[in-house]
């Protein structure tokens, strides 16, 4: 089971081409940012009814996936599974890179990004957003120190306690991210305690899928074949997380259907919501759930990394669809300002709000992915993040 690693220097031209392509995307993102900074959000598809647009879809996905991708490292360090220990450094790197990309989008999408210093120095501890700001900063610090213990021979003994701290911290972080929606009592599509655990399991699925995609590309780049036993572990774990994500989605909608006050919203999302209904059934359920499970449980997937890669990529695409339905679909449904009372005005009473993302928002959102890509590509080229398995120390039959 020996593997050979091809030196990056042999592909220096391709490497610099990747960096240039990523840099061009970032230039487009910065141009979009300065354009919106100059002209204002009037250039976007957002309005007084839908204040979180497409950039938030990309940003929240990256933040949630950043928490989940660290799960690979946690399984190795905290739970002692040896095949995951070789993947722990790459897992930590992706966690930092994806969180940086997600937060960069949020900063660029602020109406007054120059006022970010206020959010960093003045905290309202009754606000879930303030708590998230603290946990985001803590995540960078803890995962950074965790990476140091993983990659330093002298600090290996500290990797398990730091891994445990990172594991608990990311669970709290994702709980708070899900609670942003769960605590919004005015929105019919939110206001549910299920959002916290649901976002945790979403993070597991999206994070592992993103990790498999990146690892597959790195192995292909270096002409390395992943061992079929390791491939089986990763694909089976992904299947568990994807199935659990579908389960929580079903439970959420069945819970809403139990309450008569939620029937109109559920009919909107599941039946009559147009693009949101299509995003839900085709994007989230079919592309992000059913098709990946079918590919994973295909007998050929045991020895075909391409099938597992495709399944993971579809989970990532479905995750963006899920965020679009949750974030934008939840805002498109009209507010019930006075539950149990009838009100009348000329300001969008009972009207489904329309939203079409502009090219500026698309560039901002893609910029978050480009940020994570550039951080990962640069770090992998400089430091030893490529997972290399020592099969002498691994029992491939352990479960």
Q: Single out the residue of 397, 377, 395 nearest to residue 85, CA to CA.
A: 395
> Which tens digit of pLDDT belongs to each residue from 128-143?
878 888 889 899 999 9
- For the record, the structure tokens of 365 come out as 């959102």
> Which tens digit of pLDDT belongs to each residue from 293-309?
999 999 888 888 899 99
Name 1's Cβ contacts closer than 8 Å, sequence gap at least 6: 227, 389, 391
> Which tens digit of pLDDT belongs to each residue from 352-397?
888 999 999 999 999 999 999 999 998 888 887 877 766 555 555 5
CB 324 within 8 A of CB 279: yes
- Tell me the domain boundaries of the chain: 8-338+346-382
CB 101 within 8 A of CB 62: yes
Q: How far apart are CA 24 and CA 327, in angstroms?
A: 28
Q: How far apart are CA 361 and CA 54, in angstroms?
A: 6
Q: How far apart are CA 173 and CA 176, in angstroms?
A: 5
What predicted TM-score, i.e. pTM, was given to this entire model?
A: 0.90
CB 316 within 8 A of CB 213: yes
Residue 245 CB neighbours (<10 A) = 24
Q: Is 114 exposed, middle or buried (0-12, 13-18, 19+ CB in 10 A)?
A: exposed
Q: Single out the residue of 334, 317, 371, 389 nearest to residue 61, CA to CA.
A: 317
Q: If you ran DSSP here, which 8-state letter would residue 86 be given?
A: T
Residue 118 has a pLDDT of 77
> Which tens digit of pLDDT belongs to each residue from 57-77?
999 999 999 999 998 888 887
The four Cα atoms 331, 337, 342, 346 give a dihedral, to 10 degrees, of -70
> Which tens digit of pLDDT belongs to each residue from 198-231?
999 999 999 999 999 999 888 888 888 887 888 8
Residue 347 has a pLDDT of 65
Answer yes or no: is pLDDT of 5 > 50: no
Number of H helices, E strands in the chain: 16, 0
Answer yes or no: is pLDDT of 112 > 80: no
- For the record, the structure tokens of 193 come out as 């305690």
Cα angle 258, 259, 261 (rounded to 5 degrees) comes to: 150
Q: Report, in this order, helix, strand and coil percent for the chain, each rounded to 5.
A: 75, 0, 25
Q: DSSP assignment of 97-125, as one string?
A: HHHHHHHHHHHHHSS-GGGHHHHHH---T
Query: Which CATH number applies to 8-338+346-382: 1.20.1630.10, 3.60.15.10, 1.20.58.100, 3.40.50.1000?
Result: 1.20.1630.10
Answer yes or no: is pLDDT of 7 > 80: no
């Amino acid at each position: 089971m020996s593997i050979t690693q091809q030196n990056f220097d042999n592909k220096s031209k391709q490497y610099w081409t990747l960096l240039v392509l990523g840099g061009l995307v970032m230039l487009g993102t910065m141009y979009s940012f300065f354009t919106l900074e100059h002209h204002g959000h009037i250039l976007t598809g957002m309005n007084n009814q839908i204040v979180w647009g497409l950039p938030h879809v990309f940003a929240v996905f990256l933040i949630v996936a950043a928490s989940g991708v660290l799960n690979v490292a946690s399984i190795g360090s905290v739970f002692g599974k040896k095949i995951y220990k070789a993947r722990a450094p790459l897992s930590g790197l992706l966690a930092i890179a994806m969180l940086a990309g997600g937060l960069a989008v949020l900063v660029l999408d602020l109406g007054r990004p120059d006022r970010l210093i206020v959010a960093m120095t003045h905290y309202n501890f009754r606000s879930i957003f303030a708590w998230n700001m603290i946990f985001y900063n803590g995540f960078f610090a803890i995962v950074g120190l965790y990476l140091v213990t993983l990659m330093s021979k002298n600090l290996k003994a500290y990797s398990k306690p730091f891994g445990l701290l990172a594991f608990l911290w990311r669970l709290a972080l994702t709980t708070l991210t899900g609670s942003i929606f769960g605590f919004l009592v005015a929105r019919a599509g939110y206001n549910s305690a299920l959002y916290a655990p649901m976002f945790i399991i979403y993070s597991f699925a999206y994070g592992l899928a993103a990790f498999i995609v990146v690892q597959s590309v790195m192995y292909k780049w270096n002409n390395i074949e992943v061992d079929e036993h390791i491939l089986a572990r990763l694909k089976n774990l992904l299947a568990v997380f994807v199935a659990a994500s579908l389960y929580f989605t079903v439970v959420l909608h069945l819970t809403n259907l139990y309450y008569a006050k939620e029937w109109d919203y559920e009919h909107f999302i599941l039946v009559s919501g147009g693009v949101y209904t299509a995003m839900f059934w085709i994007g989230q359920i079919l592309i992000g759930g059913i098709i990946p499970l079918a590919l994973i449980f295909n007998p050929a997937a045991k020895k075909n990394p391409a099938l597992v890669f495709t399944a993971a990529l579809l989970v990532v695409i479905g995750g963006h669809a899920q965020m679009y339905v949750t974030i934008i679909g939840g805002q498109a449904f009209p507010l019930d300002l006075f539950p149990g009372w009838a009100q009348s005005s000329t300001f969008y009473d009972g009207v489904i709000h329309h939203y079409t993302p502009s090219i500026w928002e698309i560039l901002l959102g893609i910029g978050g992915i480009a940020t994570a890509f550039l951080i990962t590509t640069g770090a992998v080229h400089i430091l030893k993040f490529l997972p290399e398995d020592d099969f002498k120390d691994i029992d491939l039959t352990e479960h």
